[in-house]
Structure 1
Amino acid sequence: MKTNFRLLRYSLIFIVCLLLGQVNFAQTDAKPQLQEGLTLLQNQDFETAIVKFQTILQAEPNNDKARHGLAIALIGTEKFAEASREIAKLLARAPQNAQFLEMAAQSFWQQKRFAEAEVVLRRRLVLGDERAAIWALFGDTLDAQKKTAEAATAYEKAVKLAPESIDLRYALGSLYWKQIRYRDAENEYLEILKRQPDEPRASFNLGDIYLTNGNAVKALPYLKRAAKAFPNEYDTHFALGRAFLATRQFEQAIAEFQIAVKLRSDIPEGYFQLGLALQRFGRREEAKTAFRKAQDLQNAKRASEKVTNPKN
């Protein structure tokens, strides 16, 4: 759960920029058709917009506003490779255009071409006038390449530009968590909870940090909140069960582990922890059954690994 809740999304914000006429290349006689294309974009009728802009470009190959519109429409239909080719043509004519660089980075990101996205974003950031969303996309691009420390630095800049953003702070906290910078992660999650006391993602991660560092009592209220918010998540019930077990609340621990193994019956550790809780509560026969189940799952996992990766 620590990294799966990143909610920051990069929408087609450049549609608005286009509609506001921020791209001011000299154009020719296609103004009425361009206006129709812009209206189609505004209405998110991307397929029809593609046809409209392609028609303009057949007559006027150097019509940059039409190519800009075509790139946006292609991104809107998730044709990212085609969009990248159109954006490359725009950048060949305007290599320092911030909008085009952002669009290029977005299309590369969607294609998982993270190294190329990083290069383009570095070019964009040199231009200045950066927004929090650009630093966040840069951070995600670095994180996707396992450059976690650099990604955290990028997100620090994003948070500085938008300190009230819950999503940015959550992402930054998760990056700190990856680096085992628990104190820094804790601070970010606490900042989130100051702004939104019932935020469940921050609650879970904060509880997990406290539990990992041996403070189950402090972890409990945060993990209870997370389990209530995410009743169908294995991780929340498993962590809450561990906190109950560590504080010798065995009956509550059993209940949480039972929910956890129902949600994920394929994970040996869930049954093992259930066995521990049952054993300590005096339900020894049930504990033996849980331990056997954990061992069976572990044996099956090892056998599967041997088949998948046989020794030479």
Structure 2
Amino acid sequence: MWTNIQAKRPVWLAGAAIALAALAAYHNSFGGPFLFDDEQSILHNPSIRSFSTALTPPGGFGFTVSGRPLLNLSLALNYAVSGTEVWSYHALNLLIHVLAGLTLFGLVRRTLALPVLAGRFAGQELPAAFVIALLWTLHPLQTESVTYLIQRAESLMGLFYLLTLYGFVRAATAASARGWQVATVAACALGMACKEVMVTAPVVAVLYDRTFLAGSFRAAWERRRGLHAGLFATWLPLAWLVATAGGDRGGTFVLTPEAFAGYWLTQFEAVARYLQLALWPSPLVFEYGVTPVTAWTQVLPYAVPVVAAAGATLWALRFRPVAGFLGAAFFLILAPTSLLPGITQTIVEHRMYLPLAAVIALVAGAVMAALGRRVWPVLLVLALVAGGLTARRNADYQDEFRLWQDTVTKRPTSAKAQNNLGRVHFLRGELPEARQRYELAVSLDPGSAQTRYNLGLVLDATGQPEAAIAQYAEAVRILPYFAQARLRTASALLRLGRPAEAVAPAVEATRLLVEPAEAYFTLGQAQAMLGRPAEAAESYRAAVKHDPAQAEARLNLGIMLAQAGELAGAREQLGEAARLRPQLPEAHANLGIVLAESGRLPEAVASFQRALELRPDYAAAHYNLGNTLLRLGRVEEARGHFTAAVKAAPDFEAAREMLERLR
């Protein structure tokens, strides 16, 4: 046993070095805020707040977790550990990446030791595998899949993809294969629950078998028919997950001939850029936006190298099978996202998470095979440089403004980047700058519902509700199930005193939103303004049901119940509102009214006094406190509060009448 441990020591040391190097490269990533799609899929994803709902992620536009239950479950684990504090999310992302790097190390080491490669590395399989895995783990192109939290979808899928291939080679070479066969199929099935790109894993496994083990497709099927059948069977749960998520990822891709033709043309630039970034990782761009192709002249400079690479891959599959496998794996893994027409993104760096391994293995492997150990120091230095560039790129992710400013500098034509930089300005209260960015984004992409919505928000915030409503309407026209745009339309209509028009968009928002509490609250406000208190009370109850911590809904529900004579229910709701929002003077003042009507006068006095501490010129609270003090026989104190009420509101006739009576 001790001899076996001694023999494995170099393997363990190499694995530890990969893990420590990754930790060093990502040491400054743990404080990075939630970014971009993180907001929808993490912060506004109620299903991760309980393990009982974690395996049923929400569907719809903008949810990266849609149809990906294992990804959603991993986020639920983070939520259980740290809520909405980012550190645990970053820690798990890094752990997944390290495990993927170690799995790649094991896969490459065992592959290089197979008979088909006998003699090429002359007993140097371990250092060759170490260099390839280290370069892949530290490559700065990986930051988008590791530091951008929700792109755990890519890295978690990548981990299970690599585990599938690692398990496959173990199952093919182990004396007792059954356990490895089960583990291989299980890893493949779990990967299907992370991201749909996993669909290519059974195909790549067949190609791996043909290239490194069996020698032909026929022999691969004859020797491992059961294992291959098990891997292809994992397409069934994937098909079910895709179907239950709506079949089109919430409308993020479309299947029309026009869409296919237009999208495929954009992928020449995408694939060419991926290859360039794999070899020279600059400039890294967080969000490229949509890059439509309007002429063949745009495509030609990118099509030439991509077509050449594809042609070389086809040739190599026949005459240089190992290189052919790596080239085919690169194109196959990219195929699902490069062939299905997306409407929101055409170039995305995180798609290179796994294909990067094929590029590095091909280039570094060829160099090492040709030059031997003489080139190892150079490759190790390259890995260290890559780690330094990764740490430098991670610094961009620590500040949302810095990241989006960097993106628009590198890709000024990205409407999404301009829009999101505007959003950061908006959150910082820099409204003129926000509007400027939003208007630029609209000019770049007039069909962006999100940009129209954001422009509406800034118009709303600068006192232009009519103009805001027009932008919200355009957002809904572009994206009919844009619930937030409907909700903001209803809110703007209420501010304009048009509650009848606000009802319909508020109702639609309650139907479409995953978290509809605010929509029910807005609907209740409209119904109350229309003189429909019973309906308003029901809407407020629904708001409280969906968000028990919504103090404003409890306040309004308490007022409705008090007006209906339901004093016990009113006391409960108003008391909760005051507890949830102790700085909300209306909650204390209305609770005081209900307590006074219930005959609990000393408690009522305390509530009114608390309201006045928060808002000394609160005329209604002064008036109601004066009435309560009169009932307690404290006339002079009452007189003082009636006087204060008139001073705060000179046209407060009821307070003037009480002063007259007390003269």
Contact 1:46-1:76 at 8 Å conserved across structures: yes
Using the TM superposition, name which of 248-257 and 211-220 deviates more. Answer: 211-220
1:278 pairs with 615, 620, 629, which one? 629
Deviation at 1:99, TM superposition (A): 4.2
Match of 1:226 among 565, 577, 595: 577
Name the amino acid aligned to 1:53. V
- Which letter does structure 2 place at the counterpart of 1:50? Q
Paired residues, number: 280
2:486 matched to 1:131? no
Q: What residue number does 2:496 align with?
A: 145
1:76-133, Cα deviation, whole Å (9 max, x unpaired)? 2232121133123214xxx434344344434444444332332233233234542322
Q: TM-score, normalised by structure 2?
A: 0.37
Structure with more contact order per residue of length (Cα contacts < 8 Å, sep ≥ 6): 2
Structure-to-structure mapping, 1:98-247, within 5 angstroms: 98-162=449-513, 165-195=516-546, 200-247=551-598
Tell me the alpha carbon deviations over residues 134-186 of structure 1, each in whole angstroms, 9 at most, x when there is no partner: 32132233334333222221010010123752222222222322333211111
Q: Which amino acid aligns with 1:236?
A: A
- Please point out which of 5, 29, 35 is paired with 2:284: 35
The letter for the 2-side match of 1:291 is R
1:161-213 CA-to-partner distances (Å, cap 9, x unmatched) read 23752222222222322333211111112223445566543322111112234
Does structure 1 conserve the Cα–Cα contact (< 8 Å) formed by 2:442 and 2:448? no
Residue pair 1:80, 1:108 contacting (<8 A) in 2 also:
no
| Pair 42,140 (structure 1): closer, same or farther in 2 beyond 3 Å | farther
**Distance in 1 between residues matched to 2:607 and 2:586, nearest whole Å:** 10
What SS is found at the alignment partner of 2:599? coil
Q: Which runs of 5+ in 2 are unaligned?
A: 1-34, 41-61, 63-143, 145-150, 152-251, 254-261, 288-392, 427-432, 652-663
Larger Rg, first or second structure (1 or 2): 2
In 2, the alpha carbon distance for the partners of 1:12 and 1:118 equals: 24
Unaligned runs of 5+ in 1: 1-10, 58-63, 304-312
CA contact (8 A) 2:629 2:635 kept: yes
Q: Say if 1:181 and 1:43 are closer, same or farther in 2 by CA, change over 3 A.
A: farther
Question: Identity of counterpart residues, as a percentage?
Answer: 17
Whether 1:82 aligns to 2:430 is no
| 8 Å CA contact retained: 2:419, 2:437 | yes
2:457 and 2:400 mapped to 1: Cα distance?
Answer: 20
SS of residue matched to 1:243 = helix
Q: Is the 8 A contact 2:619 2:648 kept in 1?
A: no
Alignment correspondent of 2:408:
53
Q: CA deviation at 1:217?
A: 4.2
1:248 is aligned to: 599
1:302 is paired with a residue whose SS is coil
Query: Would you say the 8 A contact 2:543–2:553 is kept in 1?
Result: yes
Deviation at 1:215, TM superposition (A): 3.9
CA contact (8 A) 2:407 2:417 kept: no
Question: Do the aligned residues in 2 keep the contact of 1:241 with 1:256 (CA within 8 Å)?
Answer: yes
**Aligned-residue RMSD, C-alpha:** 3.8
1:1-20 alignment runs, 5 A limit = none
Residues 217 and 287 of structure 1, relative CA distance in 2, 3 Å threshold: farther
* Secondary structure of the structure 2 residue equivalent to 1:220: helix
Give the Cα separation in 2 of the matches to 1:100 and 1:164: 22
Instruction: Please give the TM-score of this superposition, normalised by the length of structure 1.
Output: 0.72
2:636 pairs, out of 280, 288, 307, with: 288
Name which of structure 1's ranges 143-152 and 176-185 shifts more when overlaid on structure 2: 143-152
1:42 Cα shift?
6.0
CA contact (8 A) 1:219 1:243 kept: yes
